Amino acid sequence: MRENAKDPQRHAQRMARKQRVMRERMARAQKDQGVLLVLTGPGKGKSSSGFGMIARALGHDMKVGIVQFIKGKFRTGEERFFRQLPGVDYHVMGEGYTWDTQDRERDVRAAEAAWEVASRMLGDESYDLILLDELNIALRYEYLDLDRVLDDLEGRPERQHVVVTGRYVPQALIDLADTVTEMGVVKHAFKDQGVKAQKGVEL
């Protein structure tokens, strides 16, 4: 997929997308519309912020969808909490990526299966807010085709909100997004201070 980035036809398609997005944005600027938010950067709080937005949406009786692209020991508290609630469609894909075994084909299959679920939500206007947790990581490792992801995000129902989290967001996704927050580390207990990760805050 790296080759795609340098392919002139792909480049032209992306520039056309950018122009189209800018025009649509101008046209819709004063209308009610769904927003695409990206939470990225090395600092703590990206996924938490996405889950906080889920809570807020539920407070407005919205229907939400959650797809987690990395399953690990993290996020277990959120999963336990949100899974039990009405109005929540919660998916955790695969058994986590194979950082250890480096079985890339398995990772790609898991990411593609996750995107199938996300793609279905993005085509269903009954979802008011969709959280794609750690999607950026799957893009970073090129487990997913970036253009397919951008197409599905761009083609979603007009009033649907999407929150994407994870480090290393691709520039094309920044271009498509309405709001992008970069979370920086000022100080980190586990890096700087040797404090153990704590259940309920970190896990």
* Residues near a copy of itself, by CB under 8 A: 25, 28-35, 37-41, 43-60, 62, 75-82, 128-129, 161, 163, 174, 177-190, 193-196, 198-203
Measured from the CB of residue 100, what is the shortest distance to a copy of itself in angstroms? 25
Closest CA to 127 of 82, 36, 65: 65
The answer to whether the CB of 183 falls within 8 A of the CB of 43 is yes
Measured from the CB of residue 190, what is the shortest distance to a copy of itself in angstroms? 8
Cβ-count burial 97-135 (b if 16+ within 10 Å, e if not): beeeeeeeeebbebbbebbebbbebbeeeebbbbbbbbb
The answer to whether the CB of 176 falls within 8 A of the CB of 36 is yes
Q: Which is nearer to a copy of itself, 19 or 179 (CB)?
A: 179
Dist CA 133 CA 16 (whole Å): 28
Q: ∠ CA(174), CA(68), CA(193), 5° rounding? A: 80
Q: Which is nearer to a copy of itself, 168 or 190 (CB)?
A: 190
Q: Which is nearer to a copy of itself, 74 or 141 (CB)?
A: 74
Q: Which is nearer to a copy of itself, 84 or 101 (CB)?
A: 84
Measured from the CB of residue 8, what is the shortest distance to a copy of itself in angstroms? 27
Measured from the CB of residue 14, what is the shortest distance to a copy of itself in angstroms? 17
Measured from the CB of residue 137, what is the shortest distance to a copy of itself in angstroms? 18
Question: In degrees rounded to 5, what are phi and psi of residue 196?
Answer: -65, 145
Q: Which is nearer to a copy of itself, 107 or 133 (CB)?
A: 133
